[in-house]
Structure 1
Amino acid sequence: MASSMDELECFKVGAQVEVCLEEVGFRGSWYAATVARAASRRTGKILLEFHNLMSDGEGRKRLKEFVQVVLVRPVPPREAHRAFAVSEEVDAYHNDGWWEGVVISVLEGSRYSVYFRCSREQMDFAGSDLRLHREWVHGNWVPPLEEDPSHT
């Protein structure tokens, strides 16, 4: 998450970002959005237009909302064709967002069983619907992007 105004360079108008929603039922989830208005130094808020969350019942008008900039991060990197291990923290794509969970078992066919602490649910996912969980800390990803051995 952003922690200083110097780090806001990656949150310019038009930038693709993710935002952590803190409402009940959404804790531990990240949703894709585009920066519609840069962060205000006075309020610390940024205007985002969500990609998959709608503000109307017909699903035609994308939700626009001011959120605290500390809840916003760039879109995390993903390693192509990554295998996951038991106990690894992952983000799983579900219900139009990325949800933080932990791999509790490796299944056949590149599938994984993931447990979500926030909702106390367990679900199975294809490896293509998972990414390694990363935090945005002082302008860097933790853990950093892994080197692809095929490119060395």
Structure 2
Amino acid sequence: MVFRRGDEVEVSSKEDGFVGSYFPAKIISELMKKEYIVQYKTLLREDMSGPLREIVAADEVRPVPPEFPANGFSLCDEVDVYANDGWWAGKVTGKVGGKYFVYFETTGDEIAYPLSNLRVHQEYVNSKWVSSSFKNRALR
């Protein structure tokens, strides 16, 4: 997929500790080597003077996934959690009160989050969004 200046996207990270995460950004320009200059919406420069801009490979950029309304999740549902300025993939392992426990395979952590921080996990495959095995039934 080719992105144009101003397109809203998500950028994956291949750095240790960040694998499996996506950060909201906007395309600033397209470079000739299948790369883009992006400006992150939530990440700042080291000196905190403004939004971080960087050059990223085209295979690290995807469109923003479509919204998939969810009023709850079930055990083992794949979700994305908004935390630490980006979206992180995990699996629901339980629910206590209004919080869902999510396990992150890449870190081995299990952390509780409110429903407002969760979205249905989707993969961008062959220029199409494919939702996870979301069952659309809430834990009780």
Residue ranges of structure 1 left out of the alignment (5+ in a row): 1-6, 147-152
* Alignment-derived partner of residue 96 in structure 2: 107
* Alignment-derived partner of residue 75 in structure 2: 86
Q: Of residues 96, 107, 120 in structure 1, which corresponds to 2:108?
A: 120
1:106 CA displacement: 2.3
Q: Counterpart amino acid of 1:114?
A: V
Hey, which bits of structure 1, 4+ residues long, moved more than 3 A? none
* Alignment-derived partner of residue 4 in structure 1: none
Shift in alpha-carbon separation, 1:90–1:81, aligned structure 2, 3 A: closer
Q: Of residues 35, 41, 49 in structure 2, which corresponds to 1:45?
A: 35
Equivalences, count: 133
Q: Of residues 116, 133, 142 in structure 1, which corresponds to 2:130?
A: 142
1:24 partnered with 2:13: no
1:65-111 alpha-carbon deviations (Å, 9 max, x no partner): 111111111111223343111101111011111011110112222x2
Q: Distance in 1 between matches of 2:130 and 2:70?
A: 20
Structure with the largest fraction of strand: 2
Q: Of residues 52, 56, 63 in structure 2, which corresponds to 1:67?
A: 56
Q: Do the aligned partners of 2:37 and 2:54 also contact (CA within 8 Å) in 1? A: yes
Q: Distance in 1 between matches of 2:121 and 2:69?
A: 14
CA RMSD of superposed structures (Å): 1.6
Over the matched positions of the two proteins, sequence identity in percent amounts to 35
Structure with the largest fraction of helix: 1
Q: Distance in 2 between matches of 1:104 and 1:78?
A: 23
Q: Do the aligned partners of 2:70 and 2:119 also contact (CA within 8 Å) in 1? A: no
1:39 CA displacement: 4.7
> Normalised by the size of structure 2, how large is the TM-score?
0.88
Residue ranges of structure 2 left out of the alignment (5+ in a row): 135-140
Task: Give 3-state SS (helix, strand or coil) of 1:38's partner.
Answer: strand
Q: Distance in 2 between matches of 1:103 and 1:34?
A: 30
Q: Distance in 1 between matches of 2:24 and 2:51?
A: 12
Q: Distance in 2 between matches of 1:124 and 1:135?
A: 23
